[in-house]
Structure 1
Amino acid sequence: MKKIFLLMMLIAVTIIPTACEKTPNEIADDFKLGLDVNFLEYTAQIEIKDLEDGTYPNNITLVPAADYGTSILNSAGKKNYNLSEGSITLILNPADRPQSPNEIKSFDFIASAPGYQTAKLKINFTENNKTVQMPVYLLHKTRETEGISTVSDNAELSGSQLKENKTIRFGKKSSKQTDGTIEVKAGTEFLNGSGELLSGSLLNVEVIDMDANTVKLSKIFPGGFTNQSVLKNGSRADKSFLPMSYTSINMYIGNQEVKDFSQSIKVNMEIDKNLYNPNTG
């Protein structure tokens, strides 16, 4: 009986290696991850930080400004734009890659976090610009720093119309070089992004104003000022821009953001005299 049992074990051992048609190495060589490497040809690395201290704000959200379908995805190939420690890598779908040297694939996103000013960022892909590195800086709405002023004010509404003329002053303080005003006429009506009339009891206005000589200005301005690609006589050239000022005005009725007005509003902005053009004034 023992001889028969040992013989059966020997047969089993000799059969097992020959039962596989391929060796483990051959099987590994044939294994496919299912990831198209072309997805990694065009990438954008986004990092969102606090403008003042460089930390990552809590609860950052990044949403596309339009429906781009499956044209731009996260690094896993999904339409999910959740960030990890303030960062995310986006990829361009190979089916939507630029088809000529002059074609630009452009995508707008909105970055926001509680207590911070919303920032808009634009991602541009070209055949000569396949890897985009984009730091994004969010400005805190209530943190006062040198050269920056923040103002939050309210105006009373009568239904959907501004009840009285309203003037909002910003930037008037010792740590700011320039200031300005916003004037809204009584009877002005306010609309959302869909063109729908907004109504409520109060119009909330948030203003953030920065001096032109503030070193942080080049960071907070959407897209920055350096290495901007512009078209000149049909060809592309890189240029740099010097900012004269930066003022952000956001209006809300309840939780609805105002995107349009029934009549124009007047904005007066002071320009730093040191930046005047001596030839044009």
Structure 2
Amino acid sequence: MKNRFFVWGMTCLLGLSMLSCDKVKEDLDILIKADDLIRYSVMVQVNEATGEIPEDLSISVVGEDADYVYDIAGNKELAISGGLITLGVHPKHEPVEGDPVRFSVKISGPDYVSMIVPVRIDKNQFSQIKELKIVNASTPPPTVAVAKEEAALASDGTPAEPITVSSPTNAVTNEVTSVTVPASTQFLNAAGTPVVGSSVSMSVVNYNTKSSETATLFPGGKLNATNVKGPENKNISAFFMPAGFASINFDVNGTAIKKFSQPINVAIEIDPQYKLLASNTTIKEGDKIAIWSYSEDTGDWQYEKEGTVSTANGKLLVPFTTDHLTVYSIAEYVETTDCTSPTAVFSASWLKQDTQPMTLEIWNEDLSKKLSSETIVVSDGLEVVLNDLPAFAVRYKVLSQGAEIASGSIADPCSGGQVNIILPAPAVPLVGITLSLTVKCPDKGTVIPPDFYLYYKNAGAPDTEYKLLGIVKQGKLSTTLLEVGKRYDFKAIYGDRKKFIGNHLIDKTDMSTTVGVNDNLGSVVPDQNRAILIEECSKL
């Protein structure tokens, strides 16, 4: 499959050689465009909730269009490198109007709380960026509290007496989730078969819903979901407003426990400042609120029952019983099944032909809760469909390098239409830097590398400082984020290849270059590089 998409050439780092190939034509790779090219891509960036770059993560793709998803280099076997992977859609299965490509990304790893994140790609949405936060259960952030305990079982594999496990509190998170398993309860696997062992390992992960990280840590990585089984078992799309949520996992002899022979007791303490959507009043004892479950296997939401807010030890909580384990959320919702998404149009004439990654945040109307956040590579006139908005008024903020530069309201996010976002010019005019790379093939003319995502940081800065520079499209990237006279480190990840250029000087505004077989192709294995280039050019 890979060979159908791309021909591997040689020299210059995935297009990073565009940063002046006179200096970096050294044992680096470039990709040369073939006839069948992945045009639709999703760059997935995974960081720990603490900001660290996770290692040893596993990734897979599931869902209705999963068979047509590859990494950007055409590989079906997926691997995350440095917390990054770019996924692409088979060119013969691209989205069409009214029929987007849909799949889910499953990510897990040793001691990480697994996650499954839905992805939707609409027609003409050629690139998008998914920034995901994954929780390391051993070193969680203060907004996440984790309990890990083990309890002995009787000879028949059931508790001789009730077992209780509760998440801890800390300076930031005061809410607790507790689980109690009655004596003589049989532990069952997903198929309902009893699992017998001498002990049970228990994990409870409780999330602070007052945190600005709520939307990114919520199951699915966002508050909106399209795969929801609502009240009356009706299939709907919904936007959730959680007052509390927790992930509960049990394990016996290495087998995940999914069910129980009798109901167990769960109590999730909720945010005492949570405001009810209908009345905008603070939640209180006696109020009713829905209990939802989320399948970490399928990414589906299920309405469980209505819960009643109670008090215990001066705290608000929602107690309930269940016979199965999963992620549970105490949340209100608004249905978004019939919503029509608006389109944001960015006006930034000062960018000229340049681009700049910016952050688009969505907040509730009184700016008390951040509902979503995404990175968008902005250009003048860019149009972005604002999917996943709720059916109530919201506010947006646009941030450039952490500073808010524009804001506004969307009164009815479900009515479609156009949202015009004007980005004011900075006080000091920015200088654009053009990076461009093409490859000369004998008797073939000039060939352009396929698109990829490029990262940068100040030379010598820690790896955690890498930020998105932009998307190299048709071998070219124009950006306002680099400065002439400064040195940078660059990183590109393409398929399973990760490439770097360190301490590179930007010495002019036009860093364009073309590479051919008669050029200087490095001092380490130039003859090998030249032979590879000639061979691969012959395949075009």
State the partner residue of 2:48.
50
Query: Aligned with 2:243: secondary structure?
Result: coil
Give unpaired runs (5+ residues) of structure 2.
1-31, 228-236, 288-540
Assess if the C-alpha contact under 8 Å between 1:58 and 1:114 holds in 2: no
Deviation at 1:217, TM superposition (A): 2.3
CA deviation map 1:117-172 (0-9, x unaligned)? 21222222233645331111111212254333110112333444344321222244
State the partner residue of 1:185.
182
Counterparts of 1:230 and 1:55, CA distance in 2:
30
Assess if the C-alpha contact under 8 Å between 1:165 and 1:183 holds in 2: yes
CA distance change for structure 1 residues 198 and 94 in 2, over 3 Å: closer, same or farther?
Answer: farther
State the partner residue of 1:6.
none
Output aligned runs, 1:54-203, within 5 Å: 54-65=51-62, 70-101=67-98, 103-127=99-123, 129-143=125-139, 145-158=141-154, 159-203=156-200
When normalised by structure 1's length, the TM-score is 0.72
CA distance change for structure 1 residues 125 and 192 in 2, over 3 Å: closer, same or farther?
Answer: farther
Output aligned runs, 1:174-253, within 5 Å: 174-225=171-222, 228=224, 241-253=240-252
Q: Which moved more, 1:107-116 or 1:84-93?
A: 107-116
CA distance change for structure 1 residues 195 and 176 in 2, over 3 Å: closer, same or farther?
Answer: same
| Amino acid in structure 1 at the alignment position of 2:187 | F
CA distance change for structure 1 residues 65 and 153 in 2, over 3 Å: closer, same or farther?
Answer: farther
Indicate the structure with greater strand content: 2
Deviation at 1:268, TM superposition (A): 0.7
CA distance change for structure 1 residues 95 and 189 in 2, over 3 Å: closer, same or farther?
Answer: farther
| Amino acid in structure 2 at the alignment position of 1:50 | E
Query: Aligned with 1:218: secondary structure?
Result: helix
Query: Aligned with 2:45: secondary structure?
Result: strand
CA distance change for structure 1 residues 198 and 112 in 2, over 3 Å: closer, same or farther?
Answer: same
Deviation at 1:85, TM superposition (A): 1.2
Assess if the C-alpha contact under 8 Å between 1:64 and 1:108 holds in 2: yes
Query: Aligned with 1:273: secondary structure?
Result: coil
Output aligned runs, 1:15-30, within 5 Å: none
Assess if the C-alpha contact under 8 Å between 2:272 and 2:282 holds in 1: no
Query: Aligned with 1:150: secondary structure?
Result: strand
CA distance change for structure 1 residues 214 and 78 in 2, over 3 Å: closer, same or farther?
Answer: same
What's the Cα RMSD here? 3.1
Output aligned runs, 1:253-272, within 5 Å: 253-272=252-271
Counterparts of 1:94 and 1:263, CA distance in 2:
50
State the partner residue of 2:469.
none
CA deviation map 1:1-50 (0-9, x unaligned)? xxxxxxxxxxxxxxxxxxxxxxxxxxxxxxx964412x32x211111111
| Amino acid in structure 1 at the alignment position of 2:252 | I
Give unpaired runs (5+ residues) of structure 1.
1-31, 232-237
Assess if the C-alpha contact under 8 Å between 1:207 and 1:247 holds in 2: yes
CA distance change for structure 1 residues 126 and 166 in 2, over 3 Å: closer, same or farther?
Answer: same
CA distance change for structure 1 residues 94 and 192 in 2, over 3 Å: closer, same or farther?
Answer: farther
Indicate the structure with greater helix content: 1
| Amino acid in structure 2 at the alignment position of 1:62 | I
CA deviation map 1:249-279 (0-9, x unaligned)? 1211132222333333221111122114328
Assess if the C-alpha contact under 8 Å between 1:217 and 1:246 holds in 2: no
CA distance change for structure 1 residues 88 and 190 in 2, over 3 Å: closer, same or farther?
Answer: same
The percent of aligned pairs where both chains have the same amino acid is 21
Counterparts of 1:229 and 1:66, CA distance in 2:
14
CA distance change for structure 1 residues 83 and 274 in 2, over 3 Å: closer, same or farther?
Answer: same
When normalised by structure 2's length, the TM-score is 0.40
Q: Which moved more, 1:129-138 or 1:170-179?
A: 170-179
Assess if the C-alpha contact under 8 Å between 1:149 and 1:208 holds in 2: yes
Query: Aligned with 1:36: secondary structure?
Result: coil
